[in-house]
Chains A and B, each alone.
Chain A
Amino acid sequence: MNILSVNPETQDNEVVAAFLLAKEEAHLVVQSYEVPIDEVHISDLFHRRPPRVIQKFNNAPMIVNLIAEEPLAVKVGMQLSTVTSERRHSFIIDELINTSSTLRAMLPTEFKPRVEFISNIIQGLIIQGEELLEASDSIKAVTIEQVGRWNVAHLPKSVDSRFTGLLMKNGAHVVTYANSEAIGMKISNEAQELGLTTADFDGFPTHWHKEKWVFVHGSRKAPRPRQLALMSRKNLRRLVRQNLERISSLEELD
């Protein structure tokens, strides 16, 4: 069992502690003014070895230095890197260090539960980074078709519908998806800003959820086999294409 010692005056001591807990490099955290402000110490419970000292070595917060040594999935999860390994600024790290609004309200005030909760958030971010990398690999081969003025893409069966955003980042306006759990269509924010809404689409079963931006049937909110929709993956695509062609031709008439 490893004990992490942090100086309470270290700017990002809570986030560093939470990160090392999430990575299971430490199991307990203590605050100590004896630890220099630009260091954290990891020692084993019985002090059998000298403590491992992690030192801040540039102007970036210590958490950024720590993540720099980690695999891509961790960097992607913590938003320090894109899935294509491009470095980026992480607003989530900014907000974890300087908590505001909702995050501040949702964090306990005591140090220990606070660090544990942040650690849970970081664990979740890392898991999501791993999932995002996997999904990104799976959709590399997907092509985006042009239907009138709208770009439409189909999410591979093996990829969870919440990764529609990856195709939208590649330029898709409308993404259809159908896996064992859900069947539906999502319209990108860009397309919504251009005026396309789900209300423009005809032919979908009336019992589907009709939210402002998405059709979904058999989501995790309401688990049902997608067969209940009586619509195959192929038919879903056909219906969406037909609608987009009709909408495009109407726009041309205008």
Chain B
Amino acid sequence: MSQFSDQTEVAILAATLADLQSLASKGSEIYIATHFRVDSDAALAAGLCMIALPTAELIFQSADEAVNKNQPNVVGVDIRNGTRSIKGRESSAANIAAMALGELGFTLDSVALEIVAEVNFVDQGKGYLLRRAFTLSRILNCVRSSGWPDESLVLYVRNMLRAHVTQQTREVVL
């Protein structure tokens, strides 16, 4: 398994999200970090993480900075790989986030999965092969041009995705 394979990154993100869920349940402040000038990959990955961590706040930083153990209440998506941050080197950060949510018991419906697949395609430079005028990337670019800041873009994506992501409840057998 390479250092930045999808499986490694999913494991890092799932473990970090679980850790932050536990911290949040104890009342700690938690944060999701992504890069300035969010693109569709960053917005979707951060939006999905916000669904798993509803109390988390967003922070924006350079894509070249990682999140490491010295920031125990932060998870980073679509930024440099660190012990608590993922980039999605093999696929995309959104794909890693979707798989990590799956590990935590969340289910993405076909609409959400299609958007993840589309962002994955765009992030790999193959967006031109998609037969659609409006990819998430173009939608976000347009509303950014009309004046939306980074935070509003991520929150909007989260709000619109919420209906497409459900959490499975675990049955407890007594």
Contacts and interface: CB of A to CB of B under 8 A. Distances in A.
Interface string B111-140: 110110010000011001000111110010
A121 B148 CA distance: 11
Nearest to A100: B132
Contacts of A221: 35-37, 39, 62-63
A225 to B, nearest CB: 13
Contact of B136 (A106, A128, A192, A212): A106
A131 B8 CA distance: 41
A213 interface: yes
B141 interface: yes
Contacts of B112: 105
Band of interface residues on B: 20 to 34
Contacts of B143: 117, 120-121, 124
B14 to A, nearest CB: 25
A222 B134 contact: no
Contact of B142 (A120, A192, A224): A120
Contacts of A102: 114-115, 118, 132, 134-136, 139
A69 interface: no
A92 B133 contact: yes
Nearest to B137: A102
Main secondary structure of the interface of A (DSSP, over half): helix
A95 B133 contact: yes
Interface in A96-131: 96, 100-103, 105-106, 108, 117, 120-125, 127-128
Contacts of B62: 221-224
A223 B36 CA distance: 8
Given A211-B125, A221-B39, A124 B144 contact: yes
B164 interface: yes
A220 B141 contact: no
A82 interface: no
A76 to B, nearest CB: 14
Size bracket of the A interface: 20 to 34
A92 B37 contact: no
Contact of A220 (B36, B135, B146, B147): B36
A222 B112 CA distance: 28
A120 B143 CA distance: 5
A14 to B, nearest CB: 14
Most central of B64, B136, B147 by chain A CB within 10 Å: B64
Contacts of B157: 106
Nearest to B143: A120
B48 to A, nearest CB: 14
A214 B123 CA distance: 11
A125 B161 CA distance: 24
Contact of A124 (B136, B145, B160): B145
A76 B120 CA distance: 28
A94 interface: yes
A91 interface: yes
A125 B156 CA distance: 19
Given A192-B125, A221-B63, A127 B146 contact: yes
A33 to B, nearest CB: 29
Given A102-B115, A105-B115, A221-B35, A92 B144 contact: no
A189 interface: yes
A220 B147 CA distance: 16
A100 to B, nearest CB: 7
Sort A-B residue pairs by CB-CB distance and give the 3 closest, nearest first.
A124-B142, A124-B145, A123-B146
11 contacts: A95-B133, A102-B139, A105-B115, A106-B136, A117-B143, A121-B134, A128-B141, A213-B125, A219-B63, A221-B37, A224-B64
Given A123-B147, A124-B142, 18 more contacts: A92-B134, A96-B134, A102-B134, A102-B139, A103-B134, A105-B111, A105-B160, A121-B142, A128-B141, A128-B142, A128-B145, A189-B128, A213-B125, A214-B125, A220-B37, A221-B62, A222-B35, A224-B64
